[in-house]
Amino acid sequence: MTSTTATAAKPAARKVIITCAVTGAIHTPTMSPALPVTPAEIAAAAIGAAEAGAAILHLHARDPRDGHPTQDPAVFREFLPRIKQATSAVVNLTTGGSPYMSVQERLQPALQCKPEVASLNMGSMNFGLFPMLGRYKEFKHAWEREHLEKSRELVFKNTFADIEYILSSCRDNGTRFEFECYDVSHLYNLAHFLDRKLVEPPLFVQTVFGILGGIGTHPEDLVHMKRTADRLFGKDYAWSVLGAGRSQIPIASMAAAMGGNVRVGLEDSLWIGPGQLAESNAAQVQKIRTVLQGLSLEVASPDEARAMLHLKGGDNVAF
């Protein structure tokens, strides 16, 4: 007598989008030798992150003379074509720039270069960078210490008018947005624009944890943001998470286990372990990729990310 055993079909692994934030306005150039500053360094770092598995590259620019944040589209155009030629990754340009810039200045790279994705901060907030002064004592450029010190009285301005200005200015570009939400109120702000039909689903919601002035990094903070987003947006959004500083990998790991996508990169954290500076953006991408594999999750390719987020495609940009 013989018997046969039915083999159940293997369920498909969930795909997780990795975003890498290559360089940004929070960290100053002298804090880490790995932080890319010049256009050539930013291009190389972005390409390396894409090769390591990042589907989306979130990009700022810096003045190559002293590393000062800049939103000059000419500087962006020095590295964007190199990245496009070398990778198929989705390019995501900042409209946040630096908290010290006007919204008109912050918008220019996304407005002129017409990327597939641009970031958009969803509310005004205190933005405290000054605690870094307790950890770093020497700076190469005069602007760096001032940049951190002035954040004691800094309000990062992102009013309803500012947000609507950015949305309306990019409406004809086909650019979609990474909605950066640093606190629960920012989720409600986004719901307001959804109700007014100024944004369209699927929303790409990037919840941000660990910036002084925004929500903290406790697991209950993560759960609360996810629960609120689920209630406001239902199935009409893709959830992603970034943790600042030493919370980067723990927060990303928790979010991935809860069904989210993840963001890493030297904009958000210079570290890869306790007391250990990351050697590169690619090293952080590889570390979170190892975590995802341990959770039996698969890394989404750039084209899979495009399909998930309903993007216009890499051929429809202005660089």
> pLDDT digits over 224-263, tens only?
999 999 999 999 999 999 999 999 999 999 999 999 999 9
Pairing relationship of beta strands 61-62 and 69-70 according to DSSP bridges: antiparallel
Q: 3-class DSSP state for residue 176?
A: strand
Find, among 305, 308, 307, the residue nearest to 56 by Cα.
305
Residues 6+ apart with CB under 8 A from 12: none
CA 289/CA 306 separation, integer angstroms: 19
Cα 125–Cα 128–Cα 132 angle in degrees, nearest 5:
160
Contact 93, 126 (CB under 8 A): no
Residue type, 291: V
157 sits in the region (left: phi over 0; alpha: psi -120 to 50; else beta) called: beta
| E strand spans, the chain | 15-16, 18-21, 56-59, 61-62, 69-70, 90-93, 117-121, 125-126, 155-156, 176-181, 203-209, 237-243, 261-264, 271-273, 276-277, 298-299
Question: What pLDDT does residue 176 have?
Answer: 98
> pLDDT digits over 280-307, tens only?
999 999 999 999 999 999 999 999 999 9
Element (DSSP H or E) covering residue 116: none
Token couple for 129: 């960078």
Question: What pLDDT does residue 6 have?
Answer: 52
Query: For 70, phi and psi rounded to 5 degrees?
Result: -140, 145
Contact 53, 161 (CB under 8 A): no
Q: Which residues of the chain have pLDDT under 50?
A: 3
Domains of the chain, by residue range, sit at: 15-309
Residues 6+ apart with CB under 8 A from 64: 37, 38, 39, 75
**Model pTM score:** 0.94
Homologous superfamily (CATH) of 15-309 is Aldolase class I (3.20.20.70)
CA 120/CA 102 separation, integer angstroms: 14
Q: 3-class DSSP state for residue 301?
A: coil
